[in-house]
Structure 1
Amino acid sequence: MSQIPESPSRREFIKHSAVAAAGIMIVPRFVLGGKGYTAPSDQLVIAGVGVGGKGESDLAMFAKTGKARIGYLCDVDDRRAAKSRQAFPKATYYKDWRRMLDKEGKHIDAVSVATPDHNHAVVTLAAMQLGKHVYVQKPLTHDLHEARVLTEAAKRYKVVTQMGNQGASNDGVRQLQEWYDADIIGDVHTVYCWTDRPVWPQGIAWPTGKAPVPSELDWDLWLGTAPYRDYVDKLVPFNWRGWWEYGTGALGDMGCHLMEAPFRVLNLQYANAVQASVGSVYVDEFKRGYFPESCPPSSHVTLTFPKTNKTKQDITMHWMDGGIQPTRPDELGPNELFGDGGNGTLFIGTKGKMMASTYSANPRLLPTSRTNEVQVKQTLARVPGGADGHYGQWVDACIAGHGKQTVSSPFELAGPLTEALLMANLAIRGYDLQRPKATGSGMDYPGRGIELLWDNQQRKITNFDEVNRFVQRDYRAGWKLGS
């Protein structure tokens, strides 16, 4: 049977149809999906390590952008992971982050770390060494050595980094910076940061009772880098913050939120001196007690920073926690809130003062009537969504690639900021180091009443060597920082 020749019109129709079909094949998938659509293959694939509590809300915010897919979940506690597993049922679940990275590393683009403080660094560096972008809850690390290692690693591995102090993306810190750059308050020489934290037990003895480990919790993995101890009740999921082996106290919890503005506004880097005084508790009617394993119930730390390109003199920063607050400024009305009542940051300059609440929210000039009276030009771009936009900013930067977009709290800033609050903790812990009783009072401590001097190049306190053991702690056998 002979084949009927194709007519020119039919050949042209098929030709144009094929071209059209080919065109459809190369049209970006977000066009086919409609406005705001991101194809699964174009999304940032995120693995979460520590997916309960703050880790749970972090992952939800990443997913909310529509540009990220939560592909992998990891938590040592099935109870804490339950809500995230329900929210992301297609995500593969692991208990050991090392096994997850080893098995799934080639499928992961970025890692979100929200473990207790003592395991931040080991997870983060392992991810960076695999070329993964990282988002790490505050504080960046548990000790000073780890902070410097991660700061340097961010440059070496060229990945997008962000610490989870979301206030760094708020409009408030940018308003404070614009006021300062416009010379509204003159040259800042003193800063106060204060908090009503801790809201967990501190200044207590380690519990004597041993409790059974919950079946859903892998206690050995939870301990990670920390020395082995028997499980005690109520340590997990929150009260670990008050114990030096796992947490960093009120400074670690709130320091990154309250000290970030001074770092950004004044371009602070590394402190060179620190001193502290701490509160004690009464163990009975006649005796005060100090418990060196536990962070104190309150503290006042003074850090000295060398002058920067934005100051004319050294800067003194005061940190206060446990409800201690600085004296109210004369310019503040008697019934006006100082900070937000429980937390705040105060800048004192040669021409005036300015303050803000937690997360650098609600920035105000003092007296507060000046806030609306003084107008300066907006010179700094705002982050869309403010604090909530902190998450999407990181997702966008990861998708764009290293060096293509800015983020609010890269390790370049987060590292030195974390070192400052950990150096404050050095002074607190040095205050509690007991020497043989010289007076018989039991209150003679070698770190009390002295100023600790910091050598930034050698990373050590030069005039009180005992405290240097806390600069870099020893990991438990089987754990190390980096491959």
Structure 2
Amino acid sequence: MEKGKQEAESQSRRNFIKAGAIATAAFMIVPRHVLGGKGFLAPSDRLLVAGVGVGGKGQSDIAAFAASGKADIAFLCDVDDRRAAKSVKDFPKAKYYRDWREMYEKEHKNFDAVSVSTPDHNHAIQTLAAMQLGKHVYVQKPLTHDIYEARALTEAAKKYKVVTQMGNQGASNDGPRQMKEWYDAGLIGDVHTVYAWTDRPVWPQGIAWSTNKAEVPKELDWDLWLGTAPYKDYVNKLVPFNWRGWWDYGTGALGDMGCHLLEAPFSVLNLKYATEVQASVGSVYVDEFQRGYFPESCPPSSHVTLKFPKTNKTKGDVTVHWMDGGIQPERPEELQANETFGDGGNGTLFIGTKGKMMASTYSANPRLLPLSKNANIKVAQKFARVPNQANGHYAQWVEAAIAGYGKNELSSPFEIAGPLTEALLMANLAIRGADIQKKNADGKTIYPGRYTKLLWDNNQMKVTNFDDVNQFVKREYRKGWTLGA
């Protein structure tokens, strides 16, 4: 009996060692959840990532995940073979797909996480589908195209218990943490007003849709690129960048730069959801006598004012001003004539009861005003810094995904990124509302949204005093496309 037992145990050990060797040899293609179930840490301690949108910013994103040393790029997906070419070259072992739905269906057992870097209008469907498969997600800013989508993803992150991060890498910079420390120390008193501004757009806005139909490049699947958006014929120069200026696909300068410039006010002041918003927009002229009307295109410039209710970091409401198209706030009197405001084209300014502070894009280079104050600041560090700052934003997500939901702190999880994105999209409601045309009793064209302060019911997710803009809170997807299973 004893001999038989020893032989059985010996065989069991050999089987275990053999199985372990097979698992070790195959760790590059076996995802963590398959090896050990939910929350299991693989012996390799690596994350298998599938990229959706792997050209341009998507290419640099997945390269940064790989550079963390703890992630392997297992699958690539892009509707444009031209844009995907560099990623295909850089990750030759990764299987390539054009349709993310096919990749999810066929390969979902073979990856742990998804990186989404596609045009804004498809972020939500690609992200929620991954979350419903139990995948951790990293999504480029803005998180979504619509307010409804942002709320849905915020709630889904909790429901599906996946690790999330939005790609506003400045949230991992030292800047926001430095400003929180200064603010908590009372250096500028109670903040009541914030300004954020950008020189974007650097793409066309305030223009008519091209009437020149072009041939779709053979490398591009135009129907898949359109995704949720209404069908239109392909036109030159829309892809890969100029889509940002069209409401069907992009979210304008606010969507492009707002997450980078308003992240610090949100984190420093603990802002959540705005209660009211109003906007003024710049106009263009089709000729010297006629003002243009192009409601499909974002305006060339705008000034939006949002009001946020009192938080645990403020004594009262906070007014946030957003300016784009080169519009800037008045220079603070504490700033000398030749000293740079923000970083020139972009910046954020906090105005408190005792002083002011400003920062550049990505919350970089925070400074008290006047600048002479910065020579003698003595405030203890109380917030941990992210290693490698903005570059560490990617590794932070990789390590958090490996650790599992709720284990590691992140700079921009959906619980933070969702409300931030909603605020930007609420600002866009006011901008779009300014372009709504109506006829008055005399048959004259009027723009009622240009002279209206929009009042927001956060629980109902609707504007209560100008119903025309609520159509943009949750847009109607093209037939065949839905949000979630």
Same fold (TM over 0.5): yes
TM-superposed CA distance for 1:133, in Å, is 0.2
Match of 1:448 in 2: 450
Q: Deviations over 1:389-428 (max 9, x none)?
A: 0000000000000011011000000000000000000000
Mark the CA change 1:218 to 1:29 in structure 2 (over 3 Å): closer, same or farther.
Answer: closer
TM-superposed CA distance for 1:439, in Å, is 7.3
Residue 400 of structure 2 contacts residue 410 of structure 2 at CA under 8 Å; is this kept in 1?
yes
In the alignment, is residue 307 of structure 1 matched against residue 325 of structure 2? no
Match of 1:61 in 2: 64
TM-superposed CA distance for 1:43, in Å, is 1.6
Distance 2:216 2:368 in 1: 52
TM-superposed CA distance for 1:290, in Å, is 2.4
Which of 372, 377, 380 is matched with 1:374 structurally? 377
- TM-score normalised over the length of structure 1: 0.92
Match of 2:4 in 1: none
Match of 2:208 in 1: 205
Which of 295, 299, 302 is matched with 2:298 structurally? 295
Match of 2:328 in 1: 325
Amino acid at match of 1:466: D
Bigger Rg, structure 1 or 2: 1
Q: Deviations over 1:1-39 (max 9, x none)?
A: xxxxxxxxxxxxxx9xx99x97xx89x989xxxxxxx99
Distance 1:344 1:437 in 2: 40
Q: Deviations over 1:266-294 (max 9, x none)?
A: 00000000000000011101121121000
Which of 161, 186, 193 is matched with 2:196 structurally? 193
TM-superposed CA distance for 1:440, in Å, is 7.3
Distance 2:177 2:375 in 1: 16
TM-superposed CA distance for 1:42, in Å, is 3.4
Residue 170 of structure 1 contacts residue 386 of structure 1 at CA under 8 Å; is this kept in 2?
yes
Match of 1:132 in 2: 135
Residue 345 of structure 1 contacts residue 357 of structure 1 at CA under 8 Å; is this kept in 2?
yes
Residue 167 of structure 1 contacts residue 257 of structure 1 at CA under 8 Å; is this kept in 2?
yes
Amino acid at match of 1:449: Y
Distance 2:147 2:168 in 1: 18
Distance 2:118 2:46 in 1: 24
* Aligned CA-pair RMSD: 2.1
Structure 1: where are the runs of 5+ without partners? 1-14, 31-37
Match of 1:179 in 2: 182
Distance 1:40 1:113 in 2: 27
Distance 1:341 1:77 in 2: 35
Task: Report SS of the residue matched to 2:438.
Answer: coil
Distance 2:442 2:85 in 1: 55
Query: Which residues in structure 2 correspond to 1:75-114 (within 5 Å)?
Result: 75-114=78-117
Mark the CA change 1:47 to 1:332 in structure 2 (over 3 Å): closer, same or farther.
Answer: same
Which of 470, 479, 482 is matched with 2:481 structurally? 479
Distance 2:341 2:347 in 1: 7
Task: Report SS of the residue matched to 2:459.
Answer: coil
TM-superposed CA distance for 1:41, in Å, is 4.6
Residue 75 of structure 1 contacts residue 96 of structure 1 at CA under 8 Å; is this kept in 2?
yes
Distance 2:265 2:451 in 1: 26
Number of equivalent positions? 456
Match of 1:169 in 2: 172
Distance 2:96 2:173 in 1: 33
Runs of 4+ displaced beyond 3 Å: 38-42, 437-442
Mark the CA change 1:247 to 1:151 in structure 2 (over 3 Å): closer, same or farther.
Answer: same
TM-superposed CA distance for 1:372, in Å, is 2.4
In the alignment, is residue 236 of structure 1 matched against residue 202 of structure 2? no
Amino acid at match of 1:168: A
Identical residues among aligned pairs (%): 76
TM-superposed CA distance for 1:339, in Å, is 0.1
Residue 50 of structure 1 contacts residue 75 of structure 1 at CA under 8 Å; is this kept in 2?
yes
TM-superposed CA distance for 1:48, in Å, is 0.2
Match of 1:217 in 2: 220
Distance 1:438 1:236 in 2: 42
Distance 2:104 2:120 in 1: 20
Amino acid at match of 1:189: H
Match of 1:462 in 2: 464
Distance 2:400 2:266 in 1: 22
Amino acid at match of 1:326: P
Amino acid at match of 2:258: G
TM-superposed CA distance for 1:137, in Å, is 0.1
Distance 2:290 2:315 in 1: 46
Distance 2:206 2:24 in 1: 57
Distance 2:42 2:461 in 1: 47
In the alignment, is residue 148 of structure 1 matched against residue 159 of structure 2? no
Structure 2: where are the runs of 5+ without partners? 1-9, 26-40
In the alignment, is residue 387 of structure 1 matched against residue 390 of structure 2? yes
In the alignment, is residue 264 of structure 1 matched against residue 286 of structure 2? no
Amino acid at match of 1:456: N
TM-superposed CA distance for 1:330, in Å, is 0.3
Residue 40 of structure 1 contacts residue 69 of structure 1 at CA under 8 Å; is this kept in 2?
no
Residue 24 of structure 2 contacts residue 44 of structure 2 at CA under 8 Å; is this kept in 1?
no
Task: Report SS of the residue matched to 1:263.
Answer: helix
